[in-house]
Structure 1
């Protein structure tokens, strides 16, 4: 992904489980985004891009606290424990319907040649079955 820039990452975009026990993992170029719809902006959806998932989660958790979640004891405990995804989930749980605060990968729409160059497909060999325990 280095040719696409430092903010674009190779992120799992698909998993295929085959009958023979193998698994195919597809990774495609994406950026990490933080999306927020809340009280400000008349219901608009704001989206920010971050260089890593961790940075996006941290920004989202900080935003949640800034939006009043610092008054919720459970949220503060989750934040201090570093459970940032849980902070975002708590925000949505306690907010009005339609409010959201989420981190997710936004996959890039590339032309065919770029997609072929920057998408990786890896098939994992079949796992060995454990022998049955002796009875």
Structure 2
């Protein structure tokens, strides 16, 4: 009877030891995986920090360039005049008595468009 108790105790110790060994091995694998993830994240962090530094440098250079351009063009007094060349290509269409309703509608749309685009040159025509 005593032998069975000792044998049962040894079996419990062996099973408990096996379970503990399995859990320790599993935890060790998880730790290794976490170390690899940590290393990868540190590399990605270094890349991201480098990209941020490059971006900040570009921002500084762009800002300096814009300021320089503003200072250089501040002394320029020339006025810029833009003439719409499309206004010289067409003008107001006059309707005739022979025009259909659809043609009259198209003429009205054309003339409204012309007046909208060529507001400044309307006085010339």
Tell me if TM exceeds 0.5: no
Q: TM-score range by the shorter chain?
A: under 0.3
Q: TM-score, normalised by structure 2?
A: 0.18
Q: TM-score, normalised by structure 1?
A: 0.17
- Specify which structure has the higher proportion of helix: 2
**Greater C-alpha Rg:** 2
